[in-house]
Amino acid sequence: MSSSTMSKNNQTTIPKEIREKLGLHPGGKIKYEIVDDVVVLKSVPSVMDLAGILQIPDDKKNIPFKVVREVARKEWVKQAIN
């Protein structure tokens, strides 16, 4: 179990083993949740962390972004109306 001390400015350092386990780094975002009487820390992924997670089928790879954006816009409008 890890621990740290709160400063007079109400700040604390997250122990190294926890930072490493959660993949935290300077400038990274942390989400705090209270579940019953327990505080849960979660790493919030950045947009760059999410890059490349979507797989594009081979037959769709050469579609211009302009076309993809227009199809997505039409789908969004259709869902908003329903």
Here the tokens at position 20 are 């490493």
Q: Where does the pLDDT of residue 18 fall: very low under 50, low under 70, confident under 90, or very high at 90 and above?
A: very high
pLDDT digits (tens, 9 = 90+) for 30-67: 999 999 999 999 988 777 777 777 788 888 888 888 98
pLDDT at position 54 is: 78
Q: What is the residue extent of each domain of the chain?
A: 53-81
Indicate the burial class of 75 (C-beta count within 10 angstroms; 0-12, 13-18, 19 or more): exposed
The residue with greater pLDDT, 5 or 28, is 5
pTM for the whole thing? 0.53
